[in-house]
Amino acid sequence: MEGASNWGPAAMEVQAAPKAKFKIPVDDDSKATEFWLFSFSRSHMSAFHLSWFSFFCCFVSTFAAPPLMPLIRDNLGLTAKDIGNAGVASVSGAVFARLAMGTACDLVGPRLASAAIILLTTPAVYCTSIINSASSFLLARFFTGFSLASFVSTQFWMSSMFSAPKVGLANGVAGGWGNLGGGAVQLLMPFVFEAVRKIGSTKFVAWRVAFFIPGIMQTVSAIAVLALGQDMPDGNYRKLHKSGEMHKDSFGNVLRHAVTNYRAWILALTYGYSFGVELAVDNIVAEYFYDRFDVNLHTAGLIAATFGLANIVSRPGGGLMSDWLSQRYGMRGRLWGLWVMQTIGGVLCVVLGIVDYSFGASVAVMILFSLFCQAACGLTFGIVPFVSRRSLGLISGMTGGGGNVGAVLTQVIFFRGGKYKTETGIMYMGIMILACTLPVAFIYFPQWGGMLAGPRPGATADDYYNGEWTAEERDKGYNAATKRFAENSVREGGRRAASGSDSRHTVPVDGSPAPADV
């Protein structure tokens, strides 16, 4: 066996030497091997900050309406069914948008894909200020919700910039900080509304003016992504395709390898009841506390904000946990971690629906539930980058789209039309989480194993990933990046596999040849 990833630390120094153009340490595929949170170094950390902030702005826009719902409801004469339909609309459009975004990332790169979806949906945010009926409110929320597809480009971008040992953390922080928008907007919109009111505006005008803030934020973020972003560590897709450093793939190949990988479908299902649940709660939580416990609008918004703001630590914590479990137990650790955290989240969701008689207990359980639910999101995208390399974008889109499908189904079944009391719907939602987390046990990687079984004897990451390429494509070198990833993912076999591999492949500091395999 030969492979740069199987060499020891000295080899990493030798391999990293040609990559001196980066301030951050990188592997032989130019992916960052460290995560410098407060750095803006190009191109790894600048991509990180651009991706999470643009996704944050899209989250703010999509969920700008719920904090002001009592005002919008009274102003437009909305019924409970109208509000439920609008909530479904806000997350349903992104189902297909996320699939399209994943494919766009694979074909044209995350920079153009992200900026395009953000700019295309921005007019809908501004148009919210002129709505005058239930139907126009639904349309505004529907088209604004397309912007949530920027999540896919965020996760794809991080998976393209960070090495396997750091990809869970990078995806977790970028996704978590982006999701913070769902909590921050619960504070932002009531604050802007009150500020406009103090100037002397009426309630009718004030809530409409408030929507210009998320619109401006979204516009600025898209321009920043276009001006300052870069698709890959070594350049944009157009440059890499033109130079021949990257193979320009076809839609058919990307689609085929995504839809035929059963692991992608299972992750889409489980993500539907982690992130999907988060979206559903973002739509209902402020109104729930406002109506159930008779608190004022500001207090309801503050309570609802804590659910989304937990993302500052919960989702990044899930990503960090995924990487830590991988370091000790490999891919099997990542899978077990996802199942445990999401199952606990399901139990807490059931409890949240049961303790509706107590304001204090409801708030406390909601915060605990948010921590586990969002950590499961981070753990999910600690696994997604390893499902496929050729169809990474589309599989990220399928998983992200699964989150929106889960949100739509949950909203339609439990929180639309008054069929169930909100607290009863929350309890049933928890039961759905428990049921839809079970299939994680069926995810199996031949080279690393799964929750219930170890790896298949003789199976390698090289065989798994390069199996997506034909012999002719491999002969032409189209799979070069895939091969490097397979070599650099050795630690997913667990501590024993990584240490055993390192001990067999060591390059001396002086760069002399490694000893032959025995």
The residue behind tokens 């032989």 is 28
CA distance 444 to 422: 37
Question: Which tokens hold the place of 246?
Answer: 């990257």
Q: What is the pLDDT of residue 344?
A: 96
Does residue 330 lie within any of the structural domains?
yes
Query: Backbone phi, then psi, for 232, in 5-degree steps?
Result: -130, 165
CB 514 within 8 A of CB 506: yes
What is the torsion angle, in degrees rounded to the nearest 10, for the CA atoms of residue 198, residue 202, residue 203 and residue 207? -80
Does residue 11 lie within any of the structural domains?
no
Does residue 50 lie within any of the structural domains?
yes
Does residue 429 lie within any of the structural domains?
yes
Here the CATH number for the domain that contains residue 305 is: 1.20.1250.20
Q: What is the pLDDT of residue 497?
A: 58
Does residue 35 lie within any of the structural domains?
no
Nearest to 432 by CA among 412, 403, 406: 406
* pLDDT under 70: residue ranges of the chain: 1-20, 495-518
- List, for residues 79-129, the tens digit of each pLDDT value: 888 888 888 888 787 778 888 888 888 888 999 999 999 999 999 999 999
Secondary structure tally for the chain: helices H, strands E: 24, 2
Does residue 127 lie within any of the structural domains?
yes
Does residue 384 lie within any of the structural domains?
yes
Q: What is the pLDDT of residue 413?
A: 86
CB 111 within 8 A of CB 230: yes
SS3 content of the chain, % helix, strand, coil (to 5): 75, 0, 25
CA distance 149 to 171: 15
Helices (H), ranges, 355-391: 359-380
* Count: domains in the chain: 1
Classify burial at 227, counting beta carbons within 10 Å of its beta carbon; exposed 0-12, middle 13-18, buried 19 or more. Answer: exposed
CA distance 240 to 235: 6
The answer, yes or no, to whether the previous bond of 43 is cis (omega within 30 of 0) is yes
Determine the structural domain holding residue 405 and report its residue range.
Answer: 43-230+257-450
Does residue 466 lie within any of the structural domains?
no
Query: What does pTM read for this prediction?
Result: 0.77
Query: Backbone phi, then psi, for 133, in 5-degree steps?
Result: -155, 170
Question: Which tokens hold the place of 134?
Answer: 């239930």
